Amino acid sequence: MAIDVIGLTAERAAAMLRGGECTAEELAQAYLDRIAAVDGEIHSYLHVDAERTRADARAQDAAGGDPLAGVPIAYKDLLSTRGVPTTAGSRILEGFVPIEDADVVRWGNEAGLVSLGKTNLDEFAMGSSTEHSAYGPTRNPWDPARVPGGSSGGSAAVVAAGCAPWALGTDTGGSIRQPAAFCGLVGLMPTYGSVSRFGVVAFACSLEQVGPMALTVRDAALLQQVIARDTDRDATCTGPRAPIEVPEPGRLDGVTFGVPRAELEEGVEEGVRARFDESLRIAEALGARLVDVELPHARHGLAAYYVIAPAEASANLSRFDGVRYGLRVDAPDVRAMYEATRDAGFGAEVKRRIMIGTYALSAGYHDAYYVQAQRVRTLIRRDFDAAFGDVDAILLPTAPTVAFPIGARLDDPLAMYANDIFTLPVNLAGIPALSVPNGLSEGLPTGLQIIGPAHSENLLLRLGAAFEAEHGFDPVPPAMRRAS
Amino acid sequence: MSDVELTPDEVRHVASLARLGLDDVEVERLGRELTSILGHVNTIAQLPIADVPPTKHANPHGDALRSDVARSGAPRQEALANAPDPTAEGFRVPPIGA
């Protein structure tokens, strides 16, 4: 039986498996065939092992039972996978084979999910376009001349191209939400501390979370159910406060949305702004109330983020020293070996961030940069706390632009960083946000970002399902349907 | 702290702290890029917020501690499996300060 995997949701795939319409092995094979057909152009996977995937699928056919057993998935290559290469998009980890699974991968395995492979990303998740991967850029399935966003651009592209029903990404400053927006998908950045980071190659520990990227809000909720768990292997993880619920679309009576209008005055593309305004009208038509809110310190988020994230990165990446794993460049003494290894193994953006972070943490600058940025972080948290005293959730575009052309921002780091202007204050505050498809501008997807207080995932998913139902967005890129 | 302009010597000093061997082309480029990025970052250096407590991380629940029970780590063979130059018992490195 030929299975059409284009636009196939994980929920529907699970129903097909449970209803005996197909086996897990047939389903996995359909995705492997799809990958073989289109991923040469899109380059969303860094590692696919068809034999292993088929064997895992057969094991699920034999065991069966669990609701999601046999449903395929793709993992961002920042997530450690036991016995399967994990590169973090970096030359310095080429050939590295983890000896343990990340907690989120272990839980995916326990739920019976079948891995199709590891997806491309900006090196060590540092970037907004997936162009900073040491293994070459991923292309946007909506327009191969454009970026898929980043850093979880591979995870977004696999789902948009029909090369996996869903995927896990990580979000440090927008790295789930912005690629979800650029590729017409749903992406959830969970509350800080609700998902384990054990086995996630560390970039900025105080900011990053693992989260789902999917075709529908319901799929995102189903995958969040799998990964939102307490663990004893991440001291910052306390799990979700309440079980994640799979939402039904409904009206928005009684819901109050905050709209930070001052944030929208500059730098937002006209088409993105028009689609956003349309969603505000949809919210009102569904019975919600809109009020203006102010986030007076959000405009300092970019500067604070580009101190805190690089500072944490410079410390985290000191472990790549050519001794225990990864690349080594030989040299006559150990210090020269460190320097030669790190010079050869890290790409330009990673070096940039290590340099910023090291500078900001160095003697004489620590208080002026790092502690000052942490103070701004407190002010941004207070802004959100104050706003959530008056509103249930805040609406913003996910990104100020649609997907930009490959190469367009590569030589201008500040312009690249500015694409995360609406997402990174959320990471600084440690609160959850959901990006849902918000219609097309110039034929390219835009995203609506719904931001809520800590542990409001169920509310965000319910609100997202309401917008999703009204938009009736088709997440299959026209070019991908033709490619089938 | 107004405009910062990183000299090549400062770039080399920071690179040395970070154990990054950079060539002259990289030193020149990073000097330019860091000057531009730090120029933007400096917009927060001026804010009069010395009385605001810093936020280190955002989990309101604080640390999650597990019970203090001994458990074994990775077997030595596994721990050495990814090393570029392992011995039977450990990681070999070039001489220190040769």
Residue A483 has pLDDT above 80, yes or no: no
Distance from B93 to chain A by nearest Cα, in Å?
6
So what's the pLDDT on residue B98? 62
Helix (H, G, I), strand (E, B) or coil at A450: strand
CB contacts, 8 Å: A232 with chain B: 64, 66
Give the one of A236, A323, A338 whose C-beta lies nearest to B57's C-beta: A236
Q: Tell me which of B9, B37, B52, B76 to substitute to probe the interface with A (most A C-beta atoms closer than 10 Å).
A: B37
Q: Tell me which of B44, B77, B91, B92 to substitute to probe the interface with A (most A C-beta atoms closer than 10 Å).
A: B44
Q: How far apart are CA A355 and CA B25, in angstroms?
A: 15
Q: How far apart are CA A371 and CA A349, in angstroms?
A: 24
Expressed as residue numbers, the domain containing B36 is: 1-50
The answer to whether B14 and A352 have CB atoms below 8 angstroms apart is no
Q: How far apart are CA A292 and CA A210, in angstroms?
A: 31
Distance from A304 to chain B by nearest Cα, in Å?
7
B73 assigned to some structural domain: no
B85 assigned to some structural domain: no
Residue A484 has pLDDT above 60, yes or no: no
Active-site position among A44, A76, A133, A155: A76
Per domain, the residue ranges of chain A are 10-254+391-482, 298-376
Q: Is A472 exposed, middle or buried (0-12, 13-18, 19+ CB in 10 A)?
A: exposed
Domain A10-254+391-482 maps to which CATH number in 3.90.1300.10, 3.60.15.10, 3.60.9.10, 3.40.50.720? 3.90.1300.10
Distance from A360 to chain B by nearest Cα, in Å?
9
Q: In which residue are the tokens 């057993």 written?
A: A69
The answer to whether A356 and A312 have CB atoms below 8 angstroms apart is no
Contact A333 B14 (CB under 8 A): no
Contact A375 B53 (CB under 8 A): yes
**What is the tens place of the pLDDT at every residue in A202-216?**
999 999 999 999 999
The answer to whether A446 and A438 have CB atoms below 8 angstroms apart is yes
Provide the residue type at A367 as one letter: D
B87 assigned to some structural domain: no
B33 assigned to some structural domain: yes
B96 assigned to some structural domain: no
**What is the tens place of the pLDDT at every residue in A114-151?**
999 999 999 999 999 999 999 999 999 999 999 999 99
Beta strands in A308-356 (DSSP E): none
So what's the pLDDT on residue B1? 44
Q: Average the pLDDT over A397-424 and give the result.
A: 94
CATH number at residue B34: 1.10.20.60
The answer to whether A97 and A225 have CB atoms below 8 angstroms apart is no
Residue A112 has pLDDT above 50, yes or no: yes
Structural domains of chain B, count? 1
Give the one of A236, A300, A430 whose C-beta lies nearest to B64's C-beta: A236
Q: How far apart are CA A132 and CA A138, in angstroms?
A: 10
